[in-house]
């Protein structure tokens, strides 16, 4: 953290005011974010945009109730006003004046800050998108449209609470997304590929713009002439890195402590139980830099951690935010996150992934007589109370006699989390991670997903042709 | 109240040389309340404001936004937008709109009553909602959350080309999410209500919808795959219309990404289907006097008697297509630039209630909720595949509940297979209106 956004003595007085009506806990979350974006579409750099956002969210907790207010006025007067609004929920009088003494703590970031975006020229960012457009269009004459988007952000946070904690972090994030439309006799198809890491502009040393654009173009072209997806239960092989969203949806959300405490998860009261195939070891890890979901401290000021959620199929731990953990008298797991200072934090995943196993990825396909090979998944959605979840295939093929054959059109897969986890019968020795955005309760936060190539013995494939 | 239009005018007046400048300024006051087990779980209130500046210089567009509305922030955003414009591709069609002479319809979407409603009353509404839901059926095991939310928002747009408009609206809504349980089986149901002031909110209906949706799924099983008629509940129809709006966007059409490009006049749907986007209808949640570029909103007919009649254009896409804006610019607040989009899509209602439609179907599925819409629908290829829950229809009657299925088809085919259009119009929050819609020949994938 380079310098305070709000001075320590101001934060101490604001916390004191926030507790004046009898609150048990108060927190000030200060955030400053600058961002820039460029979009190229239809062969034109249509727009460059830049944005600046700063403000503070203040919460006051009394028993089970949280009062919250936010403001973009970071003067002492503005913060004190927000503290009064937030504390209006705790009206039962109380403890009179409280003083809060803050003790600043600094933690090592998972990723050093290198190429800051403001040191890179806008022309250099524009050139990336032009290269993406050229690469995608030269990949195949079937590519009829290319959209490429670049975005970067620098975010600084400062978190102070009435338990005396004062900390914060600074992070840089950069992303590039390329979307292609291919046209053929059977209509149009789309292909999308994203590169996104918690890095500055050195992101493009990790993977080239050309590689991203080629992947998007190839994905769109591969589906021209694709057959309708089958309808019914089939074995499904997920290629490494593509299917991590499966675990995010199938069990990740169900292991978030808010769902557990409210008894709205199928995984409530299941610690120590076999909830998945013994081949499954699932981890949520906010410390793996420079993945999209990594951080130094979470948005409640606690260091990111590596948490093993399922070990060899046995449920070992849930994910916790500080507020819920504090009520339950236990430690947070560093999973308290929020979209911005305008939002209350809640339990969220960071980078969630399945650890690699022993199987040769090629052999997994070779030993599947008939099924679906999913090379790329889109997003998904889960109902944590029933465990039913969907996830979408955006590049998939039939497997016939142990070989990947014809491409199939986009469709959703649907399954029940606990059932699907128990049906994983092969886990590859390979591994990859991919970026995503989790939209729990309407709040978007960056997350990472990962997995080795694996096979599920049966999932319902939501296509239109008879399986 | 800050003078938003005054600040917008002041920014726009700083255009120099051949430059065009547009300022969009928004401010709002929001409250949101969540209750759980008869207590407030969270109560949030805040005022926020921001502005976005668009600069067009030599045919190049630059944009910048800032989450503040003071003079210094405005000057900084203007400077940033100017600098950003230097790097865009010149484009003769990308300029700001000129006033087109159309007067906005007279719509009053602001209710002083909402602004004056006490926080205590809003909390009581949320608590009542939770209580009614719990009392609705002995099988309701718990209410996961009951919410109240409202917003009073104002915006202003001024440009150096002569646009000057101010707009304001209030809105409020409640929503509830309940779990019904019977033995080991648990199912969930959702209910909501919306309005412009708290008296508009039908809290009892929100509660009973959540109760009915959760309890009627108890005992739901995964059925065998089959081809059948799906009867879409109003909320699902609204979601389908919102997807359709994406394909009718002038931007997607002119960039060659729409299923419906170059198909004006063609029979794209059954002859009974009429679709309009009409933000001038005060009943619609998305009603608005003006669009996001400050032009008057108007009634746009998109499909008439099943024939494709038009697309939705903002200024730029209208120019590219050789026509003009249909007053259909939308934007996601001050942080983004305008794009064409729908505000108040509605299918002209038919004669039958949902019950009467179900009564005419031999083999079908009443779909009460869907999932995976963002992952399973491709608006470019038209492929449509979503997770679904609902109740089977057998010989004209509701039969057993089902879960963990998908329903699939293509958007193109679904429009050609609409067999019944309900009379039960429901002015839902969002950009589209709900009503019951029956669609034949859908694939249901189960076991």
Output the pLDDT for position A93: 52
For residue A9, what pLDDT band results from cuts at 50, 70 and 90? Answer: very high
Check residue A359 and give its pLDDT: 97
Positive or negative, the Cα torsion across B335, B338, B340, B341? positive
For residue A42, which residues of chain B lie inside 8 Å, CB to CB? Answer: 255
Over residues B358-381, the mean pLDDT reads 93
pLDDT for the residue A467: 56
A96 pLDDT exceeds 70?
no
Q: What are phi and psi of A19, to 5 degrees?
A: -95, 0
> Quick one: DSSP state of residue B266?
S
**A181 and B CB contact within 8 Å:** yes
Q: How distant is the Cα of B282 from the closest Cα of chain A, in angstroms?
A: 27
Quote the tokens at residue A94: 């109380």
Q: How many domains does chain A have?
A: 1
If you average pLDDT over residues A216-233, what whole number do you get?
94
Give A145's strand partners: A181
A233 closest CB neighbour out of B36, B85, B447: B447
- Least CB–CB distance from B44: residue in A69, A232, A382: A69
Check A464 against B408: CB less than 8 A apart: yes
Q: Where are the domains of chain B?
A: 4-216, 220-447
pLDDT surpassing 50 at residue A80: yes
CA distance A412 to chain B (A): 5
Q: Rounded distance, CA B339 to CA B224, Å? A: 43
The Cα B409–Cα B444 span in angstroms is 9
Where does the pLDDT of residue A1 fall: very low under 50, low under 70, confident under 90, or very high at 90 and above? very low
Residue at A53 is within a domain = no
Are A52 and B88 a contacting pair at CB < 8 A?
A: no
Residue-level pLDDT at A249: 87
- Which residues partner with A195 through β-bridges? A176
Query: Which chain A residue is nearest to residue B69, measuring alpha carbons?
Result: A72
CATH says B4-216 is which class?
A: alpha beta
A390 to B186: CB separation less than 8 angstroms, yes or no? no
Q: Which of A392, A396, A439, A443 is the best mutation test for B, with the most CBs of B within 10 A? A: A392
What DSSP designation does B412 have? H
CB contact burial B125-149 (16+ within 10 A = b; e otherwise): bbbbbbbbbbebbebbbbbbbbbbb
What is the greatest pairwise CA distance in chain B? 75
pLDDT tens-place string over residues B282-325: 999 999 999 999 999 999 999 999 999 999 999 999 999 999 99
User: With an 8 Å Cβ cutoff, is A88 touching chain B?
Assistant: yes
A390: which chain B residues are within 8 Å (Cβ-Cβ)? 371-372, 375-376, 386-387, 406
Q: Please list every residue in chain B whose beta carbon sits closer than 8 Å to the beta carbon of residue A229.
A: 385, 408
Tokens of A410: 């986009």
Residue to substitute from B381, B417, B444, B446, interface A, most A β-carbons within 10 A:
B381
Q: CB B447 to CB A66 under 8 A?
A: no
Which among A64, A85, A190 is the nearest to B39, CB-wise? A64
Closest CA to A371 of A457, A465, A451: A457
Q: Chain A 220-259, CB below 8 Å of chain B: which residues?
A: 223, 229, 231-233
The reply to whether residue A66 touches residue B43, judged by beta carbons under 8 angstroms, is yes
- pLDDT of A403 strictly over 70: yes
Indicate yes or no: CB of B372 within 8 angstroms of CB of A65: no
Contact at 8 Å (CB) between A233 and B405?
A: no
The share of chain B scoring above pLDDT 70, in percent, equals 100
Q: Which residue of A has its CA nearest to B120?
A: A89
Chains A, B: CB pairs < 8 Å: 251
Q: Which of A51, A65, A67 sits opposite B39 (nearest CB)?
A: A65
Contacts of B47 in chain A (CB under 8 A): 71
Token look-up 């059948």 returns B228
Spatial distance between the Cα atoms of B69 and B27, rounded to a whole number of angstroms: 9
CA distance A108 to chain B (A): 30
Q: How far apart are CA A259 and CA A335, in angstroms?
A: 14
Listed by number, the residues of chain A in 271-300 with a beta carbon closer than 8 Å to a beta carbon of chain B are none
Give the model's pLDDT for residue B196: 96
Query: Chain A partners of B188 at a C-beta cutoff of 8 Å?
Result: 383, 385-386
Lowest mean pLDDT among A93-107, A117-131, B140-154: A93-107
Q: Which of the 8 DSSP states describes residue A387?
A: -
How is residue A432 written in tokens?
A: 């990859």
CB contact under 8 A, A231 and B73: no
Q: Min CA distance, A390 vs chain B (Å)?
A: 6
Inter-chain touch A49–B65, beta carbons under 8 Å = yes
Give, as one character, the DSSP assignment of residue B269.
S
Nearest-CA distance from B85 to chain A in Å? 7
Q: Do B376 and A232 touch (CB under 8 A)?
A: no
H or E stretch at B315: helix B315-320
- The answer, yes or no, to whether residue B2 has pLDDT greater than 80, is no
pLDDT surpassing 80 at residue A90: no
- In terms of CA atoms, which chain B residue is nearest residue A381? B372
By the 10 Å C-beta count (0-12 exposed, 13-18 middle, 19+ buried), A97 is classed as exposed
Residue A246's pLDDT band (boundaries 50, 70, 90)?
confident
Q: What is the pLDDT of residue A94?
A: 54
Find the mean pLDDT for residues A198-222: 96
Percent of all residues in chain A with a pLDDT value above 90, rounded to a whole number: 83
Judge whether A324 is closer than 8 Å to chain B, CB to CB: no
**B408/A463 Cβ within 8 A:** yes
The CA distance from B174 to the nearest CA of chain A, in Å, is 15
Taking an 8 Å cut-off on Cβ atoms, the answer to whether A187 and B225 are in contact is no
How far apart (Å, rounded) are the C-alpha atoms in residues A385 and A442?
18
Nearest-angstrom CA–CA distance, B94 and B92: 6
Token pair 């074995």: residue? A235
Q: Residue B160: CB partners within 8 Å, gap ≥ 6?
A: B12, B13, B15, B19, B20, B21, B22, B96
Strand-pairing partners, residue B169, are B153
d(CA A298, CA A284): 13
Mind listing the pLDDT tens digit for each residue in B115-156? 999 999 999 999 999 999 999 999 999 999 999 999 999 999
pLDDT digits (tens, 9 = 90+) for A424-445: 999 999 999 999 999 999 999 9
| Residue B287, C-beta contacts closer than 8 angstroms, at least 6 positions apart | B107, B109, B279, B280, B281, B343, B344
Residue B199 per-residue DSSP state: G
Which residue in B67, B70, B83, B141 has the most chain A C-beta atoms within 10 A of its own C-beta, making it the best mutation to test that interface? B67
Chain segment B151-209, per-residue pLDDT in tens: 999 999 999 999 999 999 999 999 999 999 999 899 999 999 999 999 999 999 999 99
Q: Tell whether A262 is within 8 A of chain B (Cβ).
A: yes
Would you call B46 and A409 a contact, using CB atoms and an 8 Å cutoff?
A: no
CA B276, distance to chain mean position in Å, is: 14
Note whether A341 contacts B: Cβ–Cβ < 8 A: no
**Which candidate in A44, A49, A69, A444 is best for mutational testing of the B interface (most B CBs within 10 A)?**
A49
Q: Which residues of B touch A410 (CB under 8 A)?
A: 376, 378, 381, 383, 385
CB contact (8 A) between residue B76 and residue A48: no
Q: Quick one: closest CA in B to A186, which residue?
A: B381
Chain B positions touching A386 (Cβ under 8 A) are: 186-188, 403
The question of ipTM being above 0.90 is answered as yes
Write down the mean pLDDT value for chain B.
Answer: 95
- Higher-pLDDT residue of A167, A250: A167
Chain B touched by A342 (CB under 8 Å): yes
Interchain pair A264, B179: CB under 8 A: yes
Amino acid B209: pLDDT: 96
Residue B108, min C-alpha distance to chain A (Å): 29
For the residues A103-118, what does the mean pLDDT come to? 85
Is there a domain that residue A124 lies in?
no
Whether A158 and A5 have beta carbons less than 8 Å apart is answered as yes
Pick from B295, B301, B286, B290: nearest CA to B324: B295
| Cβ atoms of A416 and A388 closer than 8 Å | yes
| pLDDT over threshold 50, residue B49 | yes
Q: Average pLDDT, whole number, for chain A?
A: 93
Domain extent for A301: 230-466
Residues B225-261 pLDDT 10s? 999 999 999 999 999 999 999 999 999 999 999 999 9
Q: How far is A394 from chain B (nearest CA, A)?
A: 8
Which residue, among A28, A51, A294, A19, has the nearest Cα to A158 in the 3D structure?
A: A28
Substitution target in B53, B182, B387 with the highest count of A β-carbons within 10 Å is B387
Query: Considering only CB atoms, which chain A residues are within 8 Å of B371?
Result: 381-383, 388-390, 414
């Amino acid at each position: 953290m380079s310098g305070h956004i709000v001075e320590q003595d101001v934060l101490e007085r604001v916390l004191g005011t926030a507790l004046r009506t009898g609150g048990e806990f108060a927190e000030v979350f200060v955030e400053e974010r600058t961002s820039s974006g460029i979009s190229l579409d239809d062969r034109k750099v249509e727009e460059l945009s830049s944005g600046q956002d700063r403000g503070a969210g203040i919460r006051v907790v009394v028993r089970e109730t949280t009062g919250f207010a936010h403001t973009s006025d970071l003067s002492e007067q503005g913060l004190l006003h927000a503290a009064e609004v937030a504390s209006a929920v705790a009206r039962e009088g109380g403890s009179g004046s409280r003083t809060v003494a803050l003790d600043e703590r600094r933690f090592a970031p998972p990723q050093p800050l290198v190429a800051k975006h403001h040191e890179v020229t806008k022309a250099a960012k524009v050139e990336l998108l032009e290269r993406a457009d050229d690469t995608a269009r030269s990949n195949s004459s079937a590519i009829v449209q290319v959209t490429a988007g670049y975005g970067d952000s620098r975010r600084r946070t400062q978190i102070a609470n009435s338990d005396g904690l004062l900390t914060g972090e600074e992070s840089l994030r950069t992303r590039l997304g390329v979307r292609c439309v291919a046209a053929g006799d059977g209509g149009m198809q789309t292909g999308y590929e994203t590169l996104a890491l918690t890095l500055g502009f050195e992101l493009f040393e990790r993977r080239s713009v050309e590689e991203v654009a080629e992947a998007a173009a190839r994905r769109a072209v591969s589906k021209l002439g694709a057959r309708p997806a089958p309808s019914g239960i089939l074995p499904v092989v997920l290629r490494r890195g593509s299917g991590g969203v499966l675990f995010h949806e199938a069990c990740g959300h169900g292991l978030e402590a808010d769902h557990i405490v409210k008894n709205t998860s199928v995984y409530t009261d299941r610690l120590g139980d076999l909830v998945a195939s013994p081949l499954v070891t699932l981890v949520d890890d906010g410390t793996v830099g420079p993945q999209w979901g990594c951080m130094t401290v979470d948005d409640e000021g606690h260091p990111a951690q590596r948490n093993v959620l399922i070990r060899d199929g046995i449920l070992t731990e849930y994910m916790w935010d500080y507020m819920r953990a504090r009520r339950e008298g236990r430690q947070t797991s560093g999973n308290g996150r929020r979209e911005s200072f305008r939002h209350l934090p809640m339990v969220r995943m960071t980078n969630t992934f399945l650890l690699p196993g022993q199987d040769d990825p090629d052999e997994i396909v070779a030993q599947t007589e008939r099924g679906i090979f999913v090379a790329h998944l889109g997003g998904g959605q889960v109902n944590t109370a029933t465990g039913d979840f969907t996830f979408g295939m955006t590049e998939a093929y039939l497997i016939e006699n142990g070989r990947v054959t014809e491409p199939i059109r986009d469709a959703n897969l649907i399954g029940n989390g606990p059932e699907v986890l128990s049906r994983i019968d092969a886990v590859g020795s390979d591994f990859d991670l991919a970026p995503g955005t989790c939209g729990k309760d309407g709040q978007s936060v960056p997350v990472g997903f990962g997995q080795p190539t694996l096979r599920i013995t049966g999932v319902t494939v939501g296509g239109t042709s008879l399986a | 109240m800050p003078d938003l239009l005054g600040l917008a005018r002041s920014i726009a007046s700083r255009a120099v040389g051949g430059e065009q400048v547009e300022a969009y300024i928004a401010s709002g006051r929001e409250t949101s309340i969540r209750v759980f087990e008869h207590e407030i779980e969270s109560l949030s209130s805040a005022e926020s404001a921001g502005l976005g500046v668009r600069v067009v210089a030599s045919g190049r567009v630059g944009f910048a936004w800032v989450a503040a509305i003071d003079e210094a922030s405005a000057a900084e955003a203007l400077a940033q937008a100017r600098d950003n414009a230097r790097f865009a591709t010149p484009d003769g069609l990308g300029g700001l709109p000129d006033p087109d002479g159309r007067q906005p319809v007279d719509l009053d979407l602001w209710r002083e009553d909402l602004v004056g409603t006490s926080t205590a009353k809003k909390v009581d509404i949320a608590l009542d909602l939770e209580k009614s839901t719990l009392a609705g059926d002995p099988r309701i095991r718990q209410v996961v959350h009951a919410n109240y939310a409202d917003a009073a928002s104002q915006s202003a747009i001024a440009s150096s080309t002569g646009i000057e408009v101010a707009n304001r609206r209030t809105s409020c809504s409640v929503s509830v999410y309940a779990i019904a349980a019977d033995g080991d089986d648990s199912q969930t149901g959702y209910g909501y209500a919306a309005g412009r002031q708290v008296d508009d909110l039908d809290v009892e209906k929100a509660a009973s919808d959540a109760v009915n949706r959760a309890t009627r799924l108890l005992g739901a099983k995964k059925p065998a795959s089959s081809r059948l008629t799906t009867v879409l509940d109003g909320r699902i129809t609204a979601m389908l219309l919102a997807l359709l709006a994406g394909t009718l966007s002038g931007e997607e059409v002119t960039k060659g990404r729409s299923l419906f490009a170059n198909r004006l006049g063609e029979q794209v749907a059954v002859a009974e289907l009429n679709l309009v986007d009409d933000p001038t209808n005060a009943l619609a949640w998305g009603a608005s006097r003006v669009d996001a570029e400050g032009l008057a909103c108007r009634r746009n007919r998109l499909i008439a008697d099943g024939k494709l009649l038009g697309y939705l254009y903002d200024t730029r896409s209208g120019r590219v297509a050789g026509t003009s804006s249909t007053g259909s610019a939308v934007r996601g607040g001050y942080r983004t630039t305008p794009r064409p989009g729908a505000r108040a899509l509605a299918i002209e209602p038919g004669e039958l209630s949902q019950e009467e439609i179900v009564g005419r179907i031999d083999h079908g599925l009443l779909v009460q909720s869907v999932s995976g819409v963002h992952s399973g629908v491709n608006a470019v290829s038209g492929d449509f595949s979503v997770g679904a829950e609902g109740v089977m229809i057998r010989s004209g009657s509701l039969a057993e509940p089902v879960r963990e299925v998908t329903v699939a088809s293509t958007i193109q085919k679904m429009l050609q297979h609409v067999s019944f259009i309900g009379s039960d119009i429901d002015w839902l929050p969002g950009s589209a209106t709900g009503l019951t819609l029956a669609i034949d020949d859908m694939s249901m994938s189960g076991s």
